[in-house]
Amino acid sequence: FIVDSQIDIVLLQEIKCTEEQFPYAEIEKLGYEYAIYGQVARNGVCVLSKYPILEKLKIDIVEGHQEARYIECVIKHTNQKVRVGSVYVPNGQSLDSQAFEYKLKFFDNLYERMSTLLKNEELTIIAGDYNVALDEIDVFDSNLLNGQVCFHIKEREKLRAILNLGFKDTFRISHPNLQQFTWWHYQGNSLRNNQGMRIDYMLLSPQAVDKLETCYVDDRLRKLENPSDHTPVVCIIE
């Protein structure tokens, strides 16, 4: 996908490797600079850029939880700077678990971070796996999934609060009424039956939205052999 698309900036989640294990040589051959926050066998986030990376910030969103779930960079793109963040929100596991409470806490702290970023009035993109579908159009069966993890009202309210700060869901701006998903379970013919959820987002600051051309989901990769259960979200900014 990276070779074929030649995308300028790539935000990855769940790279599931340490920084020592990351394929630096291969990435450099493709013309990318990189910023990695890795972890043994799980989590892991990364930014790849064809433009110079001026700053790299590895941030533990929840203090005391050293998990590789958020990395932020400042990139020099032609005559302007762009701040990008790659985020991997916890799944939450089950409603009665500590993991679900941790997910809600993660959202609260992410809200604070993104609120701070908006005050800088920069071109800002915080994108990745938010692990929650926002509205009924974002799931294949809202009656079936309502109240379950990744479509529980508590999670949805947390994401909506971030949007209410001023960040915009670029896919929904580009496609107000289109039902399209970014994740399908591996089991039960979910992909074939299009039983998915839209849980991956490109959230842009107002300054970045002003330069938005379009945003779309490229589901071709999910149909390949041995794919990820997610598929890329692509955003084009002038």
Q: Is residue 137 part of a domain?
A: yes
Measured distance CA(170)–CA(109) in Å, rounded: 22
CATH of the domain at 149: 3.60.10.10
Question: Residues with Cβ < 8 Å from 64, sequence gap 6 or more?
Answer: none
pLDDT tens digits, 227-237: 999 999 999 99
Q: Is residue 142 part of a domain?
A: yes
H-type alpha helices, 134-182: 142-145, 153-165, 170-174
What's residue 79's pLDDT? Answer: 85
What does each C-alpha distance from 232 to 11, 100, 120, 198, 214 come to in angstroms? 10, 25, 28, 11, 14
Backbone angles phi and psi of 164, in degrees to 5? -70, -20
Domain that residue 226 falls in: 89-237
Q: Is residue 36 part of a domain?
A: no
Q: Is residue 3 part of a domain?
A: no
Measured distance CA(109)–CA(106) in Å, rounded: 5
Q: Is residue 56 part of a domain?
A: no
Confidence check: pLDDT of 45 > 90: yes
Considering its fold, how many domains does the chain have in total?
1
pLDDT tens digits, 73-131: 999 998 899 999 999 999 999 999 999 999 999 999 999 999 999 999 999 999 999 99
Q: Is residue 38 part of a domain?
A: no
Confidence check: pLDDT of 172 > 90: yes
